[in-house]
């Protein structure tokens, strides 16, 4: 079982609250500004993003899977708690922010995409093309 959530077009939604006891498939296509909380504690959150978007979510899940980010988007999942993540494809001029505590299975970045990491996870499979890069952030508490 899974839960698919789609935002297509020009949409502004703040304070979204997504609670799920199944995998969440999150699709954004257009020019969206979305923020809120996703809780899929024992499940994965899969993300497909296309266009020029501003996305920021907090919450908790077992695994974050970024299948595709294409265009010029900012995807801030830096306050989303997850033990594991993967980025199958991020192409264009994107900014991705992740906080993965243990393992980053795959990172595939191209164009001018920047991945900011809060923690220092092990990266199993890395591909950086063009001017893409990874930078580490230090949390000030």
Q: What is the pLDDT of residues 84-93, one digit of tens each?
A: 999 999 999 9
Query: Residue 24 is encoded by which pair of tokens?
Result: 């969440």
Can you give the residue ranges of every domain in the chain?
Answer: 2-136
Q: Is the pLDDT of residue 140 over 70?
A: no
Q: How confident is the model at residue 79 (pLDDT cuts 50, 70, 90)?
A: very high
What integer pLDDT is reported at residue 134 of this predicted model?
A: 95
What integer pLDDT is reported at residue 114 of this predicted model?
A: 97
* CA angle, 37 then 38 then 39, to 5°: 120
**108 touches 91 (CB < 8 A):** no
Q: Is the pLDDT of residue 141 over 60?
A: no
Dist. CA 125–CA 86, nearest whole Å = 9
Please report, rounded to a whole number, the percentage of residues in the chain having pLDDT higher than 90: 86
**114 touches 137 (CB < 8 A):** no
Model-level pTM? 0.92
Q: Taking residues 75-96, what's their average pLDDT?
A: 95
What integer pLDDT is reported at residue 101 of this predicted model?
A: 77
Give the β-pairing of 114-117 and 122-123.
Answer: unpaired
Q: Is the pLDDT of residue 139 over 80?
A: no
Q: Is the pLDDT of residue 1 over 90?
A: no
| pLDDT tens-digit readout, 42-70 | 999 999 999 999 999 999 999 999 999 99
Rounded to the nearest integer, the mean pLDDT of the chain is: 93
Q: Is the pLDDT of residue 138 over 80?
A: no
Nearest CA among 124, 89, 94 for reference residue 109: 89
Nearest CA among 55, 33, 18 for reference residue 66: 55
Q: Which residues contact 140 (CB under 8 A, 6 or more apart)?
A: none
């Amino acid at each position: 079982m899974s839960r698919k959530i789609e935002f297509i077009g020009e949409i502004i939604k703040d304070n979204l609250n997504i609670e799920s006891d199944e995998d969440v498939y999150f699709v954004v296509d257009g020019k969206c500004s979305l923020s809120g909380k996703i809780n899929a504690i024992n499940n994965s959150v899969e993300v497909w993003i296309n266009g020029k978007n501003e996305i920021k979510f907090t919450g908790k899940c077992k695994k974050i899977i970024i299948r595709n980010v294409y265009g010029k988007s900012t995807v801030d999942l830096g306050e989303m708690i997850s033990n594991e993540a993967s980025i199958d494809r991020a192409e264009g001029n994107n900014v991705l922010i992740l906080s993965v505590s243990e393992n980053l299975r795959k990172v595939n970045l191209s164009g001018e995409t920047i991945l900011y990491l809060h923690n220092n996870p092990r990266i199993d499979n890395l591909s950086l093309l063009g001017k893409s890069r990874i930078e580490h952030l230090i949390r000030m508490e």
